[in-house]
């Protein structure tokens, strides 16, 4: 048993109380299920570390995003305050974040204001002295895969965050990439680090939002503002999204005016849709949202219910998992394994295999009729490989919403911060 097991359990249940979660059968069962998977896979110390990092961020009063990637799919992360999205409220299955018997460490990225990384690391080492931290660079054996960056003539792989936090002393070690090997060169004396400037956009944006918050008062902190303000959503409906995170794109304004977003989830749909792989659904989405019929071509009311949040289209990966589990009679774990396999296999074989098994299961269980099976399998076949993480979309839509809130109610401060030439160094 890992040293952090008991601390993790204590933090989780204390966090659930602080979040005012109703500890009913649904919540308790999910907490216990997630905890059992985390403990069985041996990652309790990792989650304790992440909880301590968040604890330090809160002590330093740093603005963090609601989450990133698939981390908001975990109720444990929500209880630990690593994320601030209740996955039960948004129907986010844990298995999209972490599968049982996982060998690789789950990813709990945290977005904080640019320039705050060293503050967090220094405070973490002061408070929890058992940790060592190292700045890192990655030496690649495949120069074709590198950004134009080098250190002393050695090409370096660009990282989104350049630190290792560990209880061990690690002079160097090797990690596996997608189809190649990289070497992490850890040198605390020379303090080598590299940053991925593209992925720093959200951190720079958080820095600007924090500056606004500090100038107008903490009672208007992003965590305190309502997420359904009609004036803020009207800003999106008018396409007034210059300097709004993830919504300052060419051609997005016309789409927003036609789509008429009415909620944070609608903004998450737009964020997902403006990925190149989903662009072809824009016209169909506008038409589907603005019509009064909510059957979406299915006889089965449960299918219509599951697809209603994305207006009958398959946009989110989590939506597929719910459909596969509900009608294909498989677990969320099996649904995620199928999704990953289909995504990786570009030949189409995995898709055909799944659709056959799914259709047969639906007929055997008599869950939906042949018409709905035909329409649903076509929907999955056309869109599943391009679906996006709902958890990540909601997280980043919330940052956009915060910016829109300040642009709506504090335009002077918003303009002053966002049109400043000053940049924050790493």
Q: Encode pLDDT of 71-98 as tens digits.
A: 999 999 999 999 999 999 999 999 999 9
Q: At CA 93, angle to CA 350 and CA 96, rounded to 5?
A: 45
Give the C-alpha separation, 176 to 183, whole Å: 9
- What is the rounded distance in angstroms from the CA atom of residue 320 to the CA atom of residue 318? 5
In this structure, of 104-118, 233-247, 299-313, the range with the lowest mean pLDDT score is 104-118
Residue spans per domain, the chain: 5-112, 126-186, 276-386
| pLDDT exceeds cutoff 90 at 350 | yes
Please check whether residue 182 is in contact with residue 376, taking contact to mean a CB–CB distance below 8 angstroms. no
pLDDT digits (tens, 9 = 90+) for 26-38: 999 999 999 999 9
- Check residue 411 and give left, alpha or beta (phi > 0: left; psi -120 to 50: alpha): alpha
Q: Is the pLDDT of residue 392 over 60?
A: yes
Tens digit of pLDDT for each residue in 260-302? Answer: 999 999 999 999 998 878 888 999 999 998 877 778 989 999 9
Give pLDDT, residue 366.
Answer: 86
> Rounded to two decimals, what is the model's pTM?
0.85
Select, from the ranges 62-66, 169-173, 189-193, 309-313, the one with the highest average predicted confidence (pLDDT).
309-313
Report residue 226 CA to chain centroid gap: 21
**Among the listed residues 215, 289, 230, 227, the one whose alpha carbon sits nearest the alpha carbon of residue 258:** 289
Looking at residue 250, its pLDDT comes to 78
**CA-CA distance, 210 to 212, in Å (whole number)?**
5
Mean pLDDT over residues 136-146, rounded? 49
Q: Write down how long the chain is.
A: 426
To the nearest whole percent, how much of the chain has pLDDT over 70? Answer: 82
**What confidence score (pLDDT) does residue 2 get?**
63
Q: Are 181 and 174 in contact (CB under 8 A)?
A: yes
For the chain, how big is the Rg over CA atoms in Å?
23
Q: Is the pLDDT of residue 386 over 60?
A: yes
Q: Name the nearest CA neighbour of 65 among 271, 343, 321.
A: 271
- Of 42, 149, 66, the C-alpha closest to 401 is 66
Measured CA to CA, the distance from residue 424 to residue 113 in angstroms comes to 9
98 closest CA partner among 29, 184, 37: 37
Q: What three-state secondary structure class fits 176?
A: strand
The pLDDT assigned to 120 comes to 87
pLDDT digit string (tens) for 287-340? 998 877 778 989 999 999 999 999 999 999 999 999 999 999 899 999 999 999
- For residue 327, count other CB atoms closer than 10 A to its CB: 22
Q: So what's the pLDDT on residue 167?
A: 73
């Amino acid at each position: 048993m890992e040293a952090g097991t008991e601390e993790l359990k204590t933090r989780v249940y204390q966090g659930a109380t602080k979040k005012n979660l109703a500890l009913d059968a649904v919540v308790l069962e999910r907490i216990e299920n997630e905890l059992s998977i985390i403990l069985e896979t041996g990652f309790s110390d990792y989650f304790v570390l992440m909880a301590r990092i968040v604890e330090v961020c809160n002590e330093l009063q740093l603005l963090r995003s609601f989450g990133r990637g698939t981390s908001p799919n975990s109720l444990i992360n929500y209880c630990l305050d690593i994320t601030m999205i209740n996955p039960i409220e948004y129907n986010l299955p844990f298995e999209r974040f972490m599968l049982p018997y996982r060998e690789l460490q789950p990813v709990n990225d945290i977005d904080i204001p640019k320039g705050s990384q060293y503050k967090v690391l220094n405070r973490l080492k002061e408070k929890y002295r058992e940790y060592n931290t190292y700045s890192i660079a990655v030496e690649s054996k495949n120069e074709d895969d590198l950004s134009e960056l080098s250190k002393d003539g050695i090409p370096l792989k660009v990282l989104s965050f350049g630190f290792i936090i560990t209880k061990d002393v690690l002079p160097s070690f090797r990690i596996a990439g997608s189809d190649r090997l990289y070497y992490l060169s850890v040198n605390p004396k020379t303090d080598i680090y590299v940053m991925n400037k593209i992925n720093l956009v959200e951190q720079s944006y958080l820095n600007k939002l924090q500056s606004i918050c500090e100038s107008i008062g903490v009672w208007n902190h992003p965590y305190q503002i309502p997420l359904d303000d009609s004036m803020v959503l009207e800003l999106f409906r008018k396409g007034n999204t210059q300097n709004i995170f993830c919504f300052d794109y060419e051609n997005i304004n016309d789409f927003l005016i036609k789509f008429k977003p009415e909620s944070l989830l609608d903004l998450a749909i737009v964020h997902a849709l403006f990925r190149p792989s989903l662009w072809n659904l824009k016209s169909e989405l506008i038409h589907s949202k603005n019509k009064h019929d909510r059957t979406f071509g299915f006889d089965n009311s449960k299918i219509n219910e599951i697809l209603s949040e994305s207006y009958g289209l398959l946009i989110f990966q989590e939506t597929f998992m719910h459909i596969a589990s509900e009608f294909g009679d498989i677990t969320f774990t099996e649904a995620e394994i199928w999704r990953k396999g289909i995504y990786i296999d570009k030949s189409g074989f995995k898709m055909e295999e799944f659709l056959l098994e799914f259709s047969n299961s639906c007929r055997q269980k008599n869950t939906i009729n042949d018409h709905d099976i035909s329409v649903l399998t076509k929907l999955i076949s056309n869109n599943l490989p391009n679906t996006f993480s709902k958890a990540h979309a909601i997280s980043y839509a919330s940052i956009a919403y915060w910016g829109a809130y300040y642009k709506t109610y504090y335009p002077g401060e918003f303009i002053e911060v966002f049109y400043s030439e000053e940049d924050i160094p790493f």
